Structure 1
Amino acid sequence: MEITGKTFVALGYQPGKWFKEALAYANEHQLAGEQLISYLDSVKPIYQPLQDEAADLTVNIHAENDQEQSNVDTVVASMQKLLRTPTMVQGAVMPDACPTGPIGTIPVGGVVIAKNAIHPGMHSADICCSVMLTDLGMIDPKKVLDQAQRVTHFGFGGRIYDKQFSLPTQLKHRFKDNLLLNKEKMLDMAETHLGTQGDGNHFLFVGRSAKTGHTMMVTHHGSRGVGAMLYSQGMKIAEHFRKQISPETLKQNAWIPFDTEEGKQYWQALQIIRDWTKLNHSSLHDATLHGLGMQGYDRYWNEHNFVFQDQDLFYHAKGATPLDEKFLPDSTGSRLIPLNMAEPVLIVQGATTKGNLGFAPHGAGRNISRSAHKRAKQGQTETQIFREETEGLDVRFFSGEIDISELPSAYKNAQTVRTQMQTYGLGNVIDEVLPYGSIMAGDWQKNAPWKRRKKGKKKKQ
């Protein structure tokens, strides 16, 4: 008599992908009774309950006022709940930490170590958000910013056809060879989004080295639409496993076991997205250099939203800069930590300690949300706020619309972050890129293309 999935369910086993292989084996060996039950118990997914106590947490941040205290308390509470997830080994929070999502969600500025597991929700949708620096030597920073503005692209969607960069054939083949990346829409985004920077806190920054006086260009952005699509797939795969092996785990903390085929494919896809993002940065830097008719003196980069592997441990950084060289095989030894448009970009180096887990902050972070910051500024015009906070700087918004939620006052005090970096041993500043000016998306939704089209239709009517 043939054994079916209904046979397994009648015996009390939860349906899942494991049924297929188990059915084939059970039928081939004609298992029945105790033999069948013994076999199924040996191959069924192992249920993993939440840990009774949270894994160890190092808090590399302290509050200096009531507002910051509320922020720190929420971050710590969120990390403590998250660290009860079955895979968790250890965690840390950085001085720029700020909460995002409900309690139990990894905050910005959070680092966690998971055993044999990749948690898509712990690297976030902006996979491989990163920073790249090019040293342009002794050149007028205004010339660099002007040329960069001709080259870069912020806001919704990709570049128009005649302004697109070419996706290298080898990288295109790697997309096609990966089961999670070989979708037509994703391949199209990999081409059209190349050379774009998105919105939010992403920027193109130009300044001078405090040490050498050289002009330096820094870009900050992630993997755009291709990364967001991979993240969505990763969360669905992780949810599938969560339902089978750990339903008590919060949905945002679901994981993909690394030793599964899905885990291997997702890890490979992450590496491809990492290479695409690095190319996204270098395309803009190279095009700027080409427009200026020159070559750069030096270049380095690092991501701060990613997953890093060390044997069977996976370090998830949600807005944290890796210090340890084992996390950055293509590193030149320095890391970049931007603070805000009116503050220097820090060039740092540092060693791994028990408390920092091999990471440093990724920026200044926020104490309140964008909308709360805007409410706090009511009574002043956007132009007034902009002039006060960017005096002496050449700050431009790609959309032509000011976004006050990205001005310096929207972020934590930069000096506080720097002081706490020293206090907790989170990297040493070896140079600073002193600000000349920057380009950001601005409030591109205020005058978005679809809104202009809608207004045009109304006028015609």
Structure 2
Amino acid sequence: MESKIKISGKEIIALDFKPGKWFPKAIEYINKNQLIEVEISTYLEQFKLGSEIDLLEKTADLIINIKVENELEAINVNSVTKSMETLMKTPTIVGGAIMPDACPTGPEGTIPVGGIVIAKNAIHPGMHSADICCSVMLTDFGKADPKEVLDAAHSITHFGPGGRDRDVQFRFPADLLLEIEGNPFLNNQKCISAARTQLGTQGDGNHFLFVGKSKNTGNTMLITHHGSRGFGANLYGRGMKIAEQFRQKLSPQTLKQNAWIPYETEEGKAYWEALQIIRKWTKLNHEVLHNATLEKLQIEKENRFWNEHNFVFKDGDLFYHAKGATPLDEKFMPDITGPRLIPLNMSEPVLIVEGKTTENNLGFAPHGAGRNVSRTQHRKSKTGTNEEIFEEETKGLDIRFFSNEIDITELPSAYKNAETVRNQMVEFGLGEVIDEVLPYGCIMAGNWQMNAPWKNRRRQDKKK
């Protein structure tokens, strides 16, 4: 076929494809983009089996970089492994791995935290989750006083739900707004509003602002951990709806949470571009907080680097879905800025690591310490008041909760043993630690729901 010749359904049938509801859209796409023969074959591959693609009879190869060291971990590891084995029957999948910080995040077949899944020519929105591009950024403040850095950052950052009031919003770049408006997944008022108001905010949960000192240099380091907030969550929601439409046509047997968008489709290309815009926004979300803190203290940064997790990384026609896994290989990071960061918990150092791709790490390292039990289970396991538990677990540290309410599910005991994770990183070749940021203190959202505005209103209404 020549690129300038308009094709019809006859030509597609001649290539051994069964007629289906997807024909008109495929014909329109091929003609609109003037695809040549090889490009047409690649594009049509997603429709090869007509309306239904069976699950894999044999699961794709799964590499397990975690081992059981106590009874509690056995329950967690068995659950993670079983879930990944079910997921690895998804038709697009060609390989995967589990990291030492792995923990379950949903029903069987859902990618766990600490899971890596490689898909061919497919993007699975459910495998990067709603917290798209959750990431970590470090800025070197030189010999600045860590308390002064934490105090300054505390006066600037924003944790909890929603965004910033209009009078304290950061200036939004015009070029980034144009990119957002030019993408069909992002060009809606909900996305644009979230992008504007939530710039310079950190959300809640396990997101943090950490200050410590480099073990190597003694310099004070500011580290932030957060994702794309409501901006990314909106893309995730729209992506899941489109993926579900493809799942119903292409592979009804595939679990809903593992639905995919074929990359070679118009939707696939647009979704990939949307992910890159989300990545750019999230990096900026870190930068505005770091830069404002530097400016307040009138300090010039000495160094800065960042890396993401909860993201999709492309290598040719392979898409690496890293749910809570840190990219080691430079090919995954188009703007590589330095070594990678792995936080463990508020009382442990943030690890600064480097590493190369090996057979078992697939080019990734863990992203943190992970959990062996849920937040609810951890809360039930603790005795004493929140204040007593907090005092015991944070001695010697300057730990603050933005909401002024302690969240004991973010204290060190809520996470896996940090030494165990570090030992398994060495054992399985998951990155080399080249420096550590020793903790001074950190800020987290805290239990902001305890005194949420709507709860206060209810209490006051009852008093009337």
What CA distance in whole angstroms lies between the structure 1 residues aligned with 2:141 and 2:188?
Answer: 38
What CA distance in whole angstroms lies between the structure 1 residues aligned with 2:26 and 2:370?
Answer: 48
2:459 alignment counterpart? 455
Per-residue CA deviation, residues 137-172 of structure 1 (Å, 9 max, x unaligned), is 001100000000000000010011111111100000
Query: What pairs with 1:37-436 in structure 2 (closer than 5 Å)?
Result: 45=50, 47-377=52-382, 379-436=383-440
The one-letter code of the counterpart of 2:400 is: R
Give the superposition deviation at 1:223: 0.2
Give the superposition deviation at 1:186: 1.0
What CA distance in whole angstroms lies between the structure 1 residues aligned with 2:19 and 2:210?
Answer: 54
Query: In 2 relative to 1, CA 43–102 (structure 1 residues): closer, same or farther, beyond 3 Å?
Result: closer
What CA distance in whole angstroms lies between the structure 2 residues aligned with 1:353 and 1:21?
Answer: 39
Q: Could you tell me the TM-score, scaled by structure 1's length?
A: 0.91
Give the superposition deviation at 1:21: 6.4
What CA distance in whole angstroms lies between the structure 1 residues aligned with 2:124 and 2:218?
Answer: 42
Give the superposition deviation at 1:185: 1.5
- Whether the 8 Å CA contact 1:18–1:44 is kept in 2: the answer is no
What CA distance in whole angstroms lies between the structure 1 residues aligned with 2:259 and 2:419?
Answer: 36
What CA distance in whole angstroms lies between the structure 2 residues aligned with 1:199 and 1:178?
Answer: 28
Per-residue CA deviation, residues 230-264 of structure 1 (Å, 9 max, x unaligned), is 00000000000000010000000000000000000
Give the superposition deviation at 1:17: 4.7
Give the superposition deviation at 1:333: 3.0
Unaligned runs of 5+ in 2: 1-17, 31-46
What CA distance in whole angstroms lies between the structure 2 residues aligned with 1:445 and 1:396?
Answer: 16
2:10 alignment counterpart? none
Query: In 2 relative to 1, CA 24–83 (structure 1 residues): closer, same or farther, beyond 3 Å?
Result: closer
What CA distance in whole angstroms lies between the structure 1 residues aligned with 2:228 and 2:239?
Answer: 15
- Whether the 8 Å CA contact 1:117–1:257 is kept in 2: the answer is yes
Query: In 2 relative to 1, CA 366–20 (structure 1 residues): closer, same or farther, beyond 3 Å?
Result: closer
- Whether the 8 Å CA contact 1:22–1:43 is kept in 2: the answer is no
Secondary structure of the 1:89 match is strand
What CA distance in whole angstroms lies between the structure 2 residues aligned with 1:22 and 1:335?
Answer: 44
The one-letter code of the counterpart of 1:168 is: P
Secondary structure of the 1:52 match is coil
What CA distance in whole angstroms lies between the structure 1 residues aligned with 2:190 and 2:199?
Answer: 14
- Whether the 8 Å CA contact 2:401–2:446 is kept in 1: the answer is yes
- Whether the 8 Å CA contact 1:325–1:333 is kept in 2: the answer is no
Secondary structure of the 2:141 match is strand
What CA distance in whole angstroms lies between the structure 2 residues aligned with 1:283 and 1:197?
Answer: 12
Give the superposition deviation at 1:47: 2.5
1:33 alignment counterpart? none
The one-letter code of the counterpart of 2:240 is: M
Give the superposition deviation at 1:359: 0.1
What CA distance in whole angstroms lies between the structure 2 residues aligned with 1:51 and 1:352?
Answer: 27
Unaligned runs of 5+ in 1: 1-12, 26-41
The one-letter code of the counterpart of 2:410 is: E
What CA distance in whole angstroms lies between the structure 1 residues aligned with 2:168 and 2:27?
Answer: 53
- Whether the 8 Å CA contact 2:190–2:234 is kept in 1: the answer is no
Query: In 2 relative to 1, CA 103–24 (structure 1 residues): closer, same or farther, beyond 3 Å?
Result: closer
2:7 alignment counterpart? none
- Whether the 8 Å CA contact 1:46–1:245 is kept in 2: the answer is yes
1:444 alignment counterpart? 448
Q: Could you tell me the percent identity over the aligned residues?
A: 65
The one-letter code of the counterpart of 1:82 is: L
Give the superposition deviation at 1:209: 0.1
- Whether the 8 Å CA contact 2:20–2:51 is kept in 1: the answer is no
Give the superposition deviation at 1:457: 3.5
Aligned length, in residue pairs: 431
Give the superposition deviation at 1:329: 1.6
- Whether the 8 Å CA contact 1:133–1:218 is kept in 2: the answer is yes
What CA distance in whole angstroms lies between the structure 1 residues aligned with 2:162 and 2:19?
Answer: 42
Per-residue CA deviation, residues 327-352 of structure 1 (Å, 9 max, x unaligned), is 01211330000000000000000010
Secondary structure of the 1:278 match is helix
What CA distance in whole angstroms lies between the structure 2 residues aligned with 1:21 and 1:391?
Answer: 62
